[in-house]
Structure 1
């Protein structure tokens, strides 16, 4: 007996029949738990049995979560304990470490729920994706990713001004850096909270569109709130990374063509910091651009 269903409002009593069922989304199999075979069996991330279906993905999530939490905690503690000669530079690094630490916390939440649901994920899928825990997890992942992108942008602006206009502008103060980062965190919190404040428009599954609570809407790019997701993860991030790439390219061209004899001690120091920041920006770029690319492909 074959049942083919393409809707979301289903009566479990009508679907709990022997045989096979085929749905448009694997998560709808939670409405047909007594059917022997239910298709599809997964969405590429989760399966009927596991929140994180791939063993490689499970191991990667635990490893990245551990490294992100321990590594960024060490950075935060180290820079709080040690006295840095450049307070502004250290302050930006601490904010970047905090943003990445939040991502580590998010990954630990997902990994722990994968263990909790191991072997019977589909029984918990509906409840989990609509839970406060999933919404908070998605909120944390968005805060982390956008705070990281915006902090890198602020750092890039600071380095760009220091190198391109070393004499025309005054040195940036710690107070100015503090105000910049306050704006970054407030903007990030607002962007992540908007979908939770308007469930009537964005739907109850904006963060629960998949088992890992990422609001990318890859499997259903036309679902409610997809425009906001595309704006945040594609438009905003692409503009930020385009500016970062342009700024660092311009800085390195300037550094390469500048005369050694005209370089002051402060300029040499700024350029050394710019090179270190370029490495940090490059690694973050490699982490987030694939997500932007996947989102664009899903929309296309």
Structure 2
């Protein structure tokens, strides 16, 4: 569906995307992860022509976005980071307006709007003005808007940022249904658990480069196998002294505590009996650990 070869985008002296090679296959849910400024949104913009690449090759549905952006946009749906809804109009009026933008025939618009409002549990709000909706309702309406043209590829650009867990899980369920129905989905997110739940395959980007690619489980096994213990910050010096010279142990610290990753569960459970260290939590390694390691935000044991 989407193929990039040595894809590059520069803004003056700043290189946002650097010789990216990437292939997104039909029917998969593909994730783009990375810190702010990694190049994710720039890549998304290049796929539908709002950002013009500086070099390399890019094909979407076999088209070049530089010359066929209109044809590509007809087959894409985009859930943007910003809702960009007209606050003075009603739910239904907003959707009719967007139908006119994307060229949906007039005789098909009402049925399509009705169907999608029902799908996203918003039928009861069809005559409500946007300004009266909750944040979660507005976000669900942006999904309705993105689906109006029955897209072959659905781009979700940080779709659940700022939402409460109930709305986030509702949207996850809808994304899974669309995926199972054959829609190709591209997801950018800062929620690592969201990527684990939804993505078949993903890449992690950092400073314009793809630094890892694969399924979530493959990445965890390759880059951060084992278990993580979370300790109180007061245990910092003891943990550093115990593991400073152990190459197979890694730790980093943030406001919630000290994170120590070890290959075996016993390495963590034995810390209490042998050294009086009591972890606040022990869990298997996850995609967040991979992200922190590959983007340089995890401190190794000799840092």
State the TM-score, normalizing by the size of structure 1.
0.23
State the TM-score, normalizing by the size of structure 2.
0.23
Which is richer in strand?
A: 2
Using CA pairs under 8 Å that are at least 6 residues apart, name the structure with larger relative contact order, 1 or 2. Answer: 2
